Structure 1
Amino acid sequence: MKALPERIVAAGFGLAIFLLCGVSIASYFQLQKLVKNKQWIIHTYKVIGSIDNAFEAISEAENAHRDYLSTRRKVDLDKYHTSVKKATQSIEQTRQLTIDNPTQQQRLERLEPLIEKRLALLDQSVSLIQHNQLETPARIAFIEQGGAVQPEIRSGLQSLKIEEYALLQERAAATGFSNICLVICIGYFSSFILLIWVYRLLNKQIGVSKALSEEAIRLEQQATKSKLENILERITDAFVALDPEWRYTYVNQRAGHIFNRDTKELVGKNIWEEFPKGIGQKLYHAYYQAVTEQRMVQLEEYYPLWDKWFESRIYPSREGLLIFFQDITARKQAEIALTQSEQRYRSLAIASAQVIWLSDANGKTVGDTSAWQQLTGQTDAEIKGLGWLEAIHPDSRERIHQSWLQAIATQSLYEQVQPMRTRDGSYRDFWVRGVPVREADGTVREWIGTCTDITERKQAEEALRQAKAELEIKVQERTGELVRSNQELELFASVASHDLQEPLRAISGFTQLLMQDLPADLLDESTKEYMHWIVDGTQRMQQLIHDLLAYSRVGTHDLVLTPTDCNEVLEQVSRNLQVAIAENNAAIFHDSLPMVIADKTQLIQLFQNLIGNAIKFRRKEPPKIYIRVEQTASEQIFSIRDNGIGIQPRYLEQIFEVFKRLYTRQEFPGTGIGLAICKKIVDRHGGRLWAESQPDEGTTFYFTLPNRE
Structure 2
Amino acid sequence: MLSVPASRRSPLLSAMRSLGMGHWSCQAAERRLVLSADAAAIMGMDCAIPSCLDDLFSHFVAESAERLKNAFLACLGSGTPIDAEVLLASPPDRSRWVRFVGESVPDTENETGEIHGAVQDITTYKRVREETLRLTMRLTTTLASITEAFVTVDRQGRLTHVNRESERLLVRTAGQLLGRPIFELLDGEVQGLLRTQIENALAGNQRTEFEDFYPELDKWLEIRIHPYAEGLAMYLRDVSERRQSQNQLTLLRMGIERINDIVAVARVGGVGVSDASISFVNDAFERQTGFSREEVIGHPPDILRHVMGEDLVKSLAQEAIEPNAHTLLRREVLLRRRDGTTFWMDLDVVPVHDDQGQLTHWMAVGRDVTERRLAEEKSTTLLFSTRSPASPTASC
Q: TM-score range by the shorter chain?
A: 0.3 to 0.5
Quick one: higher RCO (CA 8 Å, sep 6+), 1 or 2?
2
TM-score (norm 2): 0.36
Larger CA Rg, structure 1 vs 2: 1
TM-score normalised per structure 1 = 0.21
> Which protein has the bigger strand share?
2
